[in-house]
Amino acid sequence: MKMSNIIYILKRVLISLFTVFIVFTITFILMNMIPGGPFSGEKTLPPVVMHNLEVKFGLDKPLIVQYVKYFENVFFHFDFGVSLKQPGMTVNQIISIYFPVSATLGLISISIAMLIGIILGILSALKHGQIADRTAMVIATIGTSVPSFVVATVFLILFGVILNVLPTIGLDSWKNYIMPAFALSFFPLSFASRLMRSSMLDVINQDYIKTARAKGLTEGKVIFKHAMKNAILPIVTYLGPLMAGVLTGSFVIEKIFAIPGLGSFFVTSILNRDYSVILGTTIFFGMFLIFMNFIVDMLYLVIDPRIRLKN
């Protein structure tokens, strides 16, 4: 491996680690600034019981001591602590149970979004100004303008109530994945198609594409071997945060379709004021997002080796 590649990777690793530290610190501070506490509620507990609970979970210690202890548990043991409202369960167990559900739904949604979005973007660029281009852009504009919960609601009413062809809650069969997957993929699909279209329009007008065509290469080779490789760079950039967000779970979509994923459980933990779960899942999401961005940076070395010379 070239020294420039090694330096590029080391820089990205250090930046990623520092970003994780910042996310951890800000999240911890914000959680402790929220009025009330995990044991505050409509029914006031006796002071002795409140004190014993705080001692049990280490909340009676100074904030700096709690920070150092939690920092050590997270970064040296990857331990996010125990749930305050789910007896006998740790945050790690909760993530291990609910994250795979969100990840499965997320992978399906990302596959739909990338496949259809890239194809729509390429077709729009190649048919620039024609009916196909205008139709695709109308779809993309609707997709980027309408919130996902509206799309989910329309799907529920149309396919679940009026037509009654798809199940509306849970994940009991493959049919249960159809509506939430398409509802979750509609925005990234639309955004990806717009990115791919604008990038493709720029690339196909470059001199090297004109040269490839002048050499007699087929249109398929020109588009897929030369143009697409360079035009897809913005999609790769977008793919990092998209995968982190979708794989971790869409809070609204999972709640609407009653899907037992991490996003739905996160909403429940907020309502229950389960601060350890909120803190742990937020840090987990931050770490996952940073990791996916790091993977994208590494993919850039493969797709466009010139990147390392600019950093």
> Where does the pLDDT of residue 246 fall: very low under 50, low under 70, confident under 90, or very high at 90 and above?
confident
Quick one: tokens of 201? 């329009």
| pLDDT of 43 over the 70 cut | no
pLDDT tens-digit map of 6-27 = 787 888 889 888 998 998 899 8
C-beta separation of 139 from 197 below 8 A:
no
Is 223 inside any structural domain?
A: yes
State the chain's mean pLDDT as an integer. 83
Q: What does the alpha-carbon distance between residue 137 and residue 129 come to, in Å, rounded to a whole number?
A: 10
Report residue 54 as tokens: 């705080």
**SS3 of 168, please?**
coil
Provide the pLDDT for residue 306: 58
pLDDT digits (tens, 9 = 90+) for 264-308: 788 788 777 788 888 888 888 888 888 888 887 777 777 665 555
How confident is the model at residue 305, as a pLDDT?
A: 59
**145, 249, 253 from 184: Cα distances, Å:** 14, 9, 7
Nearest to 74 by CA among 292, 294, 289, 282: 282
Identify whether 30 is part of a domain. Answer: no
Helices (H), the chain: 3-33, 47-56, 63-77, 91-126, 131-145, 148-155, 178-203, 207-214, 219-221, 228-231, 233-248, 251-256, 262-271, 275-303
CATH number, position 141: 1.10.3720.10
> How much of the chain, in percent, has pLDDT values that exceed 70?
92
Residue 93: pLDDT band (50, 70, 90) is: very high
Specify the higher pLDDT residue, 256 or 307.
Answer: 256
* pLDDT score of 36 more than 60: yes
Look at residue 8 in the predicted model and tell me its pLDDT: 77
Domain, as residue range, for 124: 98-264
Phi, psi of 171 (to 5 degrees): -135, 55
C-alpha span between 45 and 42 (Å, rounded): 9
pLDDT of residue 220: 82
Per DSSP, the three-state class of 224 is: helix
Answer for the pair 241, 289: CB distance below 8 angstroms, yes or no. yes
Per-residue pLDDT band at 309 (split at 50, 70, 90): very low
Query: Does any domain span residue 119?
Result: yes
- For the chain, what is the domain count? 1
DSSP letter at 171 equals -
Q: Please indicate, yes or no, if residue 20 is contained in any of the structural domains.
A: no
Position with higher pLDDT, 67 vs 32: 67
- CA-to-CA distance for 302 and 300, rounded, in angstroms? 5
* pTM assigned to the model: 0.78
Residue 64 placed within a domain = no
* DSSP single-letter state for residue 289: H
**pLDDT tens for residues 157-185?**
999 999 999 998 888 888 999 999 999 89
Residue 208 located in a structural domain = yes
pLDDT in tens, 226-241: 888 788 888 887 877 7
Give percent of the chain with pLDDT exceeding 90: 15
- Per-residue model confidence as pLDDT tens digits over 193-217: 999 999 998 888 888 888 888 888 8
Name the band, by pLDDT with cuts 50, 70 and 90, for residue 40.
low
Q: 248 lies in a domain? A: yes
| Residue 210 belongs to a domain | yes
